[in-house]
A and B are shown apart, each in its own frame.
Chain A
Amino acid sequence: DSGVTQTPKHLITATGQRVTLRCSPRSGDLSVYWYQQSLDQGLQFLIQYYNGEERAKGNILERFSAQQFPDLHSELNLSSLELGDSALYFCASSVGASGTNEQYFGPGTRLTVT
């Protein structure tokens, strides 16, 4: 158990809908990262937050947004869902945002868009 929690574990929804994925980092970790794992794109970095502020953006679609709250949990919002958004979404956390701080991954949320 990495100490990073993600809810829900599974999510099935229809095209055009909107969903919210939630992540709670390990106790004491200030940085949260979101990654998407799909069959065609592999593991891709989406976005990073550090202590409530957006720090880096990767290949995140405009339909997707995220935030980190004062208690450091983070949410990833996916809207106008398409079939191609079906994937495993991981949250990871690290103590800081530099140095040798390793990223510890949550169990992921499997999103299926039908």
Chain B
Amino acid sequence: AQTVTQSQPEMSVQEAETVTLSCTYDTSESDYYLFWYKQPPSRQMILVIRQEAYKQQNATENRFSVNFQKAAKSFSLKISDSQLGDAAMYFCAYRSANFGNEKLTFGTGTRLTIIP
């Protein structure tokens, strides 16, 4: 079974600065997908970014980028130019590419605070 570990329960960053959230995972599969979801105080789960394991290039979405290290099974999220609206819980998630196993496996989350 796959597991996802987020070792930072809480992080804080000054507004306009850069912060990196860590995520490691364990799997014996070679093909899979990784995601970062954001959960603001409204509790809505919002997809931030995704990475396909077969792609070497790191995904980028505006101020959000990832550092995907497949051999190390590491998938960190970098938020640049942090904004007050970035304050939320961030969850790292794994999804197998195998047919019939499309569920998301989540880490325990990192609570990000933005300091004005």
Q: Is A25 an interface residue (CB 8 A)?
A: no
User: Using a Cβ cutoff of 8 Å, how many contacts connect chains A and B?
Assistant: 60
Contact string, B1-38, partner A, CB cutoff 8 A, digits 1/0? Answer: 00000000000000000000000000000000101010
What is the interface size of chain B, counting residues whose CB is below 8 A from a CB of the partner? 23
Bound-state CA distance A43–B105 (Å) is 8
Task: Find chain A residues with CB under 8 A from B35 CB.
Answer: 102
Contact string, A24-50, partner B, CB cutoff 8 A, digits 1/0? Answer: 000000010101000000111100100
Stretch binding the partner chain, chosen from B62-70, B75-83, B94-102: B94-102
Whether the pair B44, A103 counts as a contact (CB closer than 8 A) is: no
Q: Is B106 an interface residue (CB 8 A)?
A: yes
Bound-state CA distance A45–B103 (Å) is 7
The A contact surface, by secondary structure, is strand
Task: Find chain B residues with CB under 8 A from A88 CB.
Answer: 43
Q: Is B45 an interface residue (CB 8 A)?
A: yes
Whether the pair A58, B103 counts as a contact (CB closer than 8 A) is: yes
Whether the pair B44, A2 counts as a contact (CB closer than 8 A) is: yes
Which B residues contact A (CB, under 8 angstroms)?
33, 35, 37, 42-47, 50, 52, 91, 97, 99-106, 108-109
Which A residues contact B (CB, under 8 angstroms)?
2, 31, 33, 35, 42-45, 48, 55-56, 58, 88, 90, 92, 94, 97-105, 107-108, 110
Task: Find chain A residues with CB under 8 A from B45 CB.
Answer: 90, 92, 105, 108
Whether the pair A107, B102 counts as a contact (CB closer than 8 A) is: no
Q: A55-B100, A56-B101 are in contact. List 10 more A-B contacts (CB 8 A).
A: A2-B44, A2-B46, A45-B105, A56-B103, A97-B100, A99-B97, A101-B102, A104-B47, A105-B46, A107-B42
